[in-house]
Amino acid sequence: MTTRQPGARPLDGIRVLDFTGAWAGPMATRSLAFLGAEVIKIEGPSRMDSWRETVAGVEKSRYPDLVRGERPYNRSFRFNSQNHDKLALSLDLKSPAGVQIALDLARVCDVVVDNFSPGVMESLGLGYKALCEVRPDLIMVQMPAYGSSGPDAYAVAFGPNMEAMTGMASLMGYGGEDETPVLTSNAYLDPIGGLHGAAAVLTALMYRSRTGRGQHVEVPQRETAMQFAGELLLEQVETGKVFVPRGNAVPYAAPHDAFPTLGEDEWIAIAVLDDEQWRVLCETLGCGQLAADPDFATAHERRHNAVRLHQELSSCTIQQEKWALAEQLQSRGVPAAPVCTGEDVAENPHLVSRGVFVEVDHAEAGRRRYPALGYRLESTPGRIERASPLYGEHNRRVLSDVLGLSDEQIDQLEASGVIASAPRTAPSATIPKEKVL
């Protein structure tokens, strides 16, 4: 039985080679770093992680204090939210020397993760077969959008169109005259894929600890996300009944909706599961006449008269403060919650008291708060120790400490462009943009 030192984390001693970009892949490797793994993040001199935005920067909203700075790619809040505790190595995989360094790193790594489209790693000479030649017990986790086989394998993939491909969009919308499907957000599938990717790594590591064997693991992001709407999709398959979007309405509660409250664009979500909760809701709102209205006497009647119900309740909630009203309703057994803005979440006393947000010093973005991950291990807790890395920040550290290269060898690699301390503006011809997820 292994005895862990106080403060040890579950993945201490595990090294991960990270070829991921954007959100899904980096969130998977961020989870591994949170749990103690040493994660070496590879970016190309001509193709950095897309969440660094561009060399010159994009709209100011992507940067702290709305300031791009001299090196916007080091200040992007999106990149800096998903790459804590990683070591950054800028490596040109178009060059034989760059590929050899990647192979040398794989030799001393336990896990390799990428979220390229199928075939990209093989085209670089870094497919699973090639990596196993240098590290037979290696675990390789690949996260293609649609899997490595089948008619859609090479389809272009971003969060919104992947979400549509899962069937989710057909389940969301307002119904009636406006039957347009509604997407949840910009890239809801990415964090789902990220957590599945991390779970896949942990599962493979457990297998290796028992058998001594590594393996190749595929995490198709479309298929992982389908699990989140699985029961509704299966119901349609089994019954042949096509689901009709109906906004926030559900068959088991009425009302079940968001209602306006005091202030600009402020809302409260309320769900009434039975007639007693309906009575309490009306009493709390001071709208006793609604409880006596025969149009709202039962859940069936409330659903049938949903439009008028929403109008009547809105006229009662609009004068109430969302937090106070939610607390009153919750204390009386009515499910209710304020609809939180981003600022509400960031400043929420409950979340702050639980240490959900961690302040981290970043060399170019300054001291900022970032959300930790949503799981807590009592004996081996994860933690954020360092800010996300600057571009190429750890080139020398990785090449010297991990691979044992001399200063002269590293200088030669930098002079020849195999490594870089700043991104180039020219795009890479080796990995086409449409091939990167």
Specify the range with the lowest mean pLDDT, choosing from 175-189, 243-257, 289-303. Answer: 175-189
DSSP secondary structure letter of residue 177? T
Is residue 4 situated within a structural domain?
no
Shared domain check, 364 and 335: no
Q: What is the pLDDT of residue 388?
A: 97
Say how many domains are in the chain: 2
3-state SS, 294-363, equals: HHHCCHHHHHHCHHHHHHHHHHHHCCCCHHHHHHHHHHCCCCEEECCCHHHHHHCHHHHHCCCEEEEEEC
For residues 96 and 196, state if they share a domain. yes
Shared domain for 360 and 335, answered yes or no, is no
Reduced to 3 states (helix: H, G, I; strand: E, B; else coil), residue 28 is: helix
Q: What is the pLDDT of residues 147-159, one digit of tens each?
A: 888 888 888 777 7
Whether pLDDT at 169 is above 90 = no
**Cβ(244)–Cβ(253) below 8 Å:** no
Q: What distance in Å separates the CA atoms of residue 317 and residue 260, rounded to the nearest whole number?
A: 6
Evaluate if residue 435 carries a pLDDT over 60: no
Q: Which helix (H) or strand (E) holds 19?
A: strand 15-19
Lowest mean pLDDT among 32-41, 122-131, 180-189: 180-189
Residue 347 in domain: no
**Could you tell me which residue, 162 or 384, shows the higher pLDDT?**
384
Residue among 167, 155, 166, 176 at smallest CA distance from 306 = 176
Q: Identify whether residues 49 and 153 lie together within a single domain.
A: yes
Asked if the model's pLDDT at residue 68 lies above 60, the reply is: yes
Instruction: Classify residue 247: in a domain, yes or no.
Output: no
Would you state the pLDDT for residue 107?
98
Tell me the residue length of the chain.
Answer: 437
So what's the pLDDT on residue 76? 96
CA atoms within 13 A on the CB side of 242: 3
pLDDT in tens, 214-249: 999 999 988 888 887 778 778 888 888 877 778 888
How far from 18 is each of 9, 39, 107, 110, 379, CA to CA, in Å? 19, 7, 14, 11, 27
Is the same domain home to 54 and 186? yes
Q: Looking at the DSSP assignment, which residues form a beta bridge with residue 111?
A: 16, 139
Tokens of 421: 């301390």
pLDDT value, residue 429: 34
Helix axes 189-211, 24-34, angle to 10 degrees: 50
Give yes or no: residues 89 and 197 share one domain.
Answer: yes
**One-letter amino acid for residue 300 of the chain:** H
**Residue 360: beta bridge partners?**
368
Give the residue from 341, 373, 395 where a domain finishes.
Answer: 341
The C-alpha angle with vertex 388 and arms to 57 and 132, in degrees rounded to 5, equals 110
**Domain presence at residue 250:** no
The helix (run of H) or strand (run of E) holding residue 370 is strand 366-371
Q: How far apart are CA 387 and CA 390, in angstroms?
A: 9
Tell me what pLDDT residue 148 has.
86
Q: Residue 32: name the closest of 15, 49, 50, 8 by CA.
A: 15
Domain boundary at 341, 373, 406, which? 341
- Closest by alpha carbon to 23, among 164, 205, 185? 185
Q: CA 149, CA 279: separation in Å to the nearest integer? A: 56
Asked whether residue 346 is domain-assigned, the answer is: no
Q: Are residues 361 and 334 in the same domain?
A: no
Same domain flag for 147 and 19:
yes
Nearest to 312 by CA among 333, 282, 336, 332: 282
Residue 248 lies in a domain: no
Q: How far apart are CA 126 and CA 106, in angstroms?
A: 9
**Is the residue at 273 inside a domain?**
yes
DSSP conformation class of 257: E
Under a CB-based contact definition with an 8 Å cutoff, are residues 138 and 109 in contact?
yes
**332 & 386 share domain:** no
- Is the pLDDT confidence value at 343 over 80? yes
Q: What pLDDT does residue 214 have? A: 97
Return the sign of the alpha-carbon dihedral for residues 168, 174, 176, 180: negative
- Nearest-CA neighbor of 76 among 356, 390, 371? 390
Does residue 108 sit within a domain? yes
CB-based burial label for 286 (10 Å; 0-12, 13-18, 19+): exposed
Residue ending a domain, choose from 311, 341, 371: 341
pLDDT of residue 228: 79
Question: What average pLDDT does range 245-266 have in this prediction?
Answer: 92
Q: What is the CATH number of the domain that holds 275?
A: 3.30.1540.10
Structural domain boundaries, residue 92: 15-228+355-435
Angle separating helix axes 159-166 and 189-211, nearest 10 degrees = 80
Give mean pLDDT, residues 412-431: 77
Confidence of residue 290 (pLDDT cuts 50, 70, 90): very high
- Confidence at residue 4, expressed as pLDDT on a 0 to 100 scale: 55
SS3 404: coil
**Paired strand residues for 140:** 112, 216
Average pLDDT over residues 321-333: 97
Query: According to the model, what pLDDT value does residue 67 have?
Result: 95
**Other beta carbons less than 10 A from residue 434's beta carbon:** 11
pTM of structure: 0.88
Question: Side chain identity at 18, as an amino acid letter?
Answer: D
> Tell me, what's the pLDDT at 337?
97
State whether 212 and 289 are in the same domain. Answer: no
CB atoms within 10 A of CB 66: 9
- Pairing mode of beta strands 267-271, 111-114: unpaired
Q: Is the pLDDT of residue 3 over 70?
A: no
**What letter does residue 289 receive in the DSSP assignment?**
H
Q: What is the pLDDT of residue 5?
A: 65
336: pLDDT strictly greater than 70: yes
Name the more confident of 235 and 285: 285
Is the same domain home to 381 and 420? yes
**What are the tens digits of pLDDT across the range 363-385?**
999 999 999 998 889 889 999 99
Tell me: do 65 and 104 sit in the same domain.
yes
Tell me the CATH number at 220: 3.40.50.10540
Structure tokens at 126: 């870094």
Supply the pLDDT for residue 6: 61
Question: Model confidence over 306-319: pLDDT tens digits?
Answer: 999 999 999 999 99
